[in-house]
Amino acid sequence: MGKALTSKVTWVGKVDWELKRFHGDEYSTQKGSSYNSYLVRDGKNVLIDTVWKPYDKEFVHNLQKEIDLKEIDFIVINHGEVDHSGALPELMRHIPDTPIYCTANGVKSLKGHYHQDWNFVTVKTGDALELGSTKLIFVEAPMLHWPDTMFCYLTGENIFFSNDAFGQHYATESLYNDVVDTAELYGEALKYYANILTPFSPLVTKKINEVLSLGLPVDMICPSHGVIWRDEPGQIIQAYLKWAASYQENQISIVYDTMWGATRRMAEALAAGIRSQDADVTVKLMNAAKEDKNDIITEIFRSKSVLVGSSTINRGILHSVGGLLEMIRGLKFTGKSAAAFGSYGWSGESVGHITAALADCGFRVLDEGIKALWMPDDAALSQCEAYGRGVAEVR
Ligand code: FEO
C-alpha cells in the first residue's frame, strides 16, 4: 500500500522484513530492509525507482491501486542495481514506451541487466524535468556508490531523493526517522556507511559540499532503503560528513581466530594491557569465525587501532581472518593503525602474512607484531600485555 508523504508524493515501495542477506552473502541485514520507490503526481506523473525483482508483481499490482499505469509519464532510475530496478521488466510490460530517465552509465547497467532497448533518456547534473508546479532536478553522483548513481531534487516539495546515500538496511512500517528507535536507526545507518560507502568517502565529502552549496531547501531526504529523514534531515548529512573524514572513536578492536585457544588468550592479554594503560579506551574482542563480519567491519570503522590475530595453519592464516582482511582491503580505511598477533607451534608464518595484509589494507602498521609459541605461558601473556600497553599509547 502506498503511503502519502505530501499531497504530491507517495511512497510506493516494499518493506522486506524477511531479508537477512544482501549483495549475495556479503552484507547481513538482521533488521531487514526496504526498497523505496516514490510516485510524484503533478501536471505530469513520475515514478522514481522500483523494487527488487522478487517483489515485482506485488509492486506493480500495488502501484496500479495508486495510479493507472498509463498515466505515468516518466520513470526515473537513480541507480541500476537490481534492488531498485528489479521490477522494471514487469512494469515495462505494461507501459513499454514510457521514457526512463537515468545517467549514461545507468543505461549501461540497465541494458546489461535486462537486455532491453527501452526508451532511455540520459540526463546530466542540472537537467530538469518539468512536472507542472514542480520540477525534478538531476544531480549525478558517480561512485556513490556505483558509477551510474544519481540523485534528484523535487522543487516546491523540497524533497531530495538520494537513492542509496543516507540509506539503512532497516525494515520499519513507520517510514520516518522521528518515529523509530534512534539507536537502532543510527546503528544501521553507520553499518551501511562503514560497509558500503567507506571506499568513496572523499567523493561523499565532495558531493555533499557541492549539493549544500546550491542552498536548496530540504524538508525531506528520501533514500532508497530504510527510513525517510524528515525530522532535521540535515542530521544525516552532518553524520556523513563526520563519517567520511577518517572517522574514529577512542576504540581499539581486536579481531582474531583461534584453533585451540592460544591466539584467543593472546587477544585477551592484549586487551588487558590496553585497558591497564588507558582506562578510557573502549576495547572490543571479536572472533572472526563467530561474529557477524559486517558488525566486525563496523567496529573497525569506529576504531583508531586494530589488532588482527590468527593461529598459523598450513603456513598461512585461518580462513575467517583471510576473508575479513580481503573485505577490509577493499574498504580503504584511512587514519587507523594496526598490528598482527598469533600463536604457532612449528613454522609461525601467520603474523608475517597478516602484517603484510594490514599494510596492503592501508593501515599504519605499528611494527612486526607479536607471536607466541604453543599455548602462551605466563611470561608470554605478560609480553602480550606489555604489547597492548604500547598499542594503547599510540596516537
Ligand atoms: Fe541499494 Fe546500490 O543498491
**From 148, 164, 268, 385, active-site residue:** 164
Cis status, amide bond into 319, omega within 30 of 0: no
If asked whether residues 231 and 274 sit together in one domain, one would say: no
Give Cα 388 to chain centroid, integer Å: 31
C-alpha 42/C-alpha 217 separation (Å) is 20
C-alpha 211/C-alpha 16 separation (Å) is 30
Share of the chain above pLDDT 90, in %: 99
Q: From 225, 243, 261, give the residue that closes a domain.
A: 243
If asked whether residues 296 and 239 sit together in one domain, one would say: no
Q: Establish whether 79 is a catalytic residue.
A: yes
**From 79, 84, 169, 353, active-site residue:** 79
pTM value > 0.85: yes
C-alpha 80/C-alpha 105 separation (Å) is 9
Closest to 305 in 3D by CA, of 245, 254, 252: 252
Q: Establish whether 164 is a catalytic residue.
A: yes
Q: Establish whether 153 is a catalytic residue.
A: no
How far does the centroid of ligand 1 lie from the alpha carbon of residue 81, in Å?
5
Residue nearest to atom 1 of ligand 1 (CA): 164
Mean pLDDT estimate for the chain: 98
C-alpha 141/C-alpha 163 separation (Å) is 10
Closest to 46 in 3D by CA, of 25, 66, 22: 66
Instruction: Decide whether any atom of ligand 1 lies within 6 Å of the 41 Cβ.
Output: no
DSSP structural state of residue 137: E
Closest to 344 in 3D by CA, of 258, 268, 236, 238: 258
If asked whether residues 63 and 178 sit together in one domain, one would say: yes
Q: From 243, 267, 298, give the residue that closes a domain.
A: 243
C-alpha 88/C-alpha 302 separation (Å) is 38
pLDDT score of 366? 98
Number of domains in the chain: 2
**Confidence band for 306, pLDDT divided at 50, 70 and 90:** very high
If asked whether residues 157 and 192 sit together in one domain, one would say: yes
CATH number of the domain to which 79 belongs: 3.60.15.10
Q: Which three-class secondary structure state does DSSP give residue 173?
A: coil
If asked whether residues 192 and 55 sit together in one domain, one would say: yes
If asked whether residues 75 and 42 sit together in one domain, one would say: yes
pLDDT exceeds 80 at position 119 = yes
Model confidence over 40-67: pLDDT tens digits? 999 999 999 999 999 999 999 999 999 9
Q: Establish whether 23 is a catalytic residue.
A: yes
If asked whether residues 116 and 92 sit together in one domain, one would say: yes
If asked whether residues 237 and 330 sit together in one domain, one would say: no
pLDDT exceeds 80 at position 108 = yes
Give Cα 362 to chain centroid, integer Å: 19
pLDDT exceeds 90 at position 132 = yes
Kind and range of the H or E element at 252? Answer: strand 251-257
How many Cβ atoms are within 10 Å of 385's Cβ, its own excluded? 21
Q: Is the Cα dihedral 164, 169, 174, 177 positive or negative?
A: negative
Q: From 243, 275, 301, give the residue that closes a domain.
A: 243
Bridge partners, 125 (sequence order)? none
CATH number of the domain to which 277 belongs: 3.40.50.360
Q: Average pLDDT of 104-115?
A: 98
pLDDT score of 126? 96
How many Cβ atoms are within 10 Å of 120's Cβ, its own excluded? 17
Per-position DSSP letters for 53-88, written without gaps between them: GGGHHHHHHHHHHHS-GGG--EEE-S--SHHHHTTH
Share of the chain above pLDDT 70, in %: 100
Model confidence over 194-234: pLDDT tens digits? 999 999 999 999 999 999 999 999 999 999 999 999 999 99
Closest to 205 in 3D by CA, of 157, 172, 240, 175: 240
Q: Average pLDDT of 88-107?
A: 98
Q: Average pLDDT of 352-363?
A: 98
C-alpha 267/C-alpha 311 separation (Å) is 11
If asked whether residues 330 and 235 sit together in one domain, one would say: no
Alpha helices in the chain (DSSP H): 56-66, 82-85, 88-94, 104-114, 182-192, 201-213, 234-243, 262-277, 293-302, 319-331, 350-360, 378-393
C-alpha 148/C-alpha 143 separation (Å) is 7
pLDDT score of 230? 98
How far does the centroid of ligand 1 lie from the alpha carbon of residue 40, in Å?
21
pLDDT exceeds 80 at position 69 = yes
**Confidence band for 395, pLDDT divided at 50, 70 and 90:** confident
Residue nearest to atom 2 of ligand 1 (CA): 81
Q: Give the structural domain span for 152.
A: 3-243
If asked whether residues 191 and 166 sit together in one domain, one would say: yes
pLDDT score of 1? 79
pLDDT exceeds 90 at position 162 = yes
Q: Is the Cα dihedral 44, 49, 52, 53 positive or negative?
A: positive
| The residue count for the chain | 395
Q: Average pLDDT of 259-286?
A: 98
If asked whether residues 217 and 74 sit together in one domain, one would say: yes
If asked whether residues 92 and 164 sit together in one domain, one would say: yes
pLDDT score of 96? 98
Q: Average pLDDT of 116-128?
A: 97
Kind and range of the H or E element at 152? Answer: strand 150-154
